[in-house]
Amino acid sequence: MEHTLDATNKPLGRVASAAAVLLRGKNTPDFLRHLKPKNRVRIINAGQLTFSGNKRAAKTYLRHSGYPGGQRTETLDELIAKKGVTEALRRAIYGMLPDNKLRAIMMKNLIITE
């Protein structure tokens, strides 16, 4: 089953949470948490997302190389400049999905277009 979400003038978190619920398959009557969901989600107009307040400058993404002093930070503004709004939306949805073996499968069912 394919679902289409329009991101025009909607906040990042609202679109991400709606997509996460649909990707997980919790909207279907035959939902089982251990089975691979069959839902596909297409998000259109991702370039027209809105960001509330000071979020572009204040929101940070952390990663660590595993070595001492290897922690790197990146703001939302830097991420958008480097990889676009689609990557910010993809990371938001990724964080809202459960951390298990099905997360990668669910993320493959996500299509984002600007």
Read off the pLDDT of residues 77-110 as tens digits, 9 standing for 90 and up. Answer: 999 999 999 999 999 999 999 999 999 999 999 9
Is 103 among the domain residues? yes
Residue 111 carries which side chain, given as an amino acid letter?
I
Is 62 among the domain residues? no
Domain assignment of residue 94, given as a range: 2-52+85-112
Per-residue pLDDT, averaged over 17-43, amounts to 94
Q: What angle do CA 114, 89, 29 make, to 5 degrees?
A: 105
CATH code of the domain in which 107 resides: 3.90.1180.10
Q: What is the pLDDT of residue 55?
A: 93
Q: Is residue 97 a contact partner of residue 109, using CB atoms and an 8 Å limit?
A: no
Q: What is the pLDDT of residue 77?
A: 96
Q: Is residue 8 a contact partner of residue 48, using CB atoms and an 8 Å limit?
A: yes
Is 72 among the domain residues? no
Output the pTM of the full model.
0.93
Integer-rounded Cα radius of gyration of the chain = 15
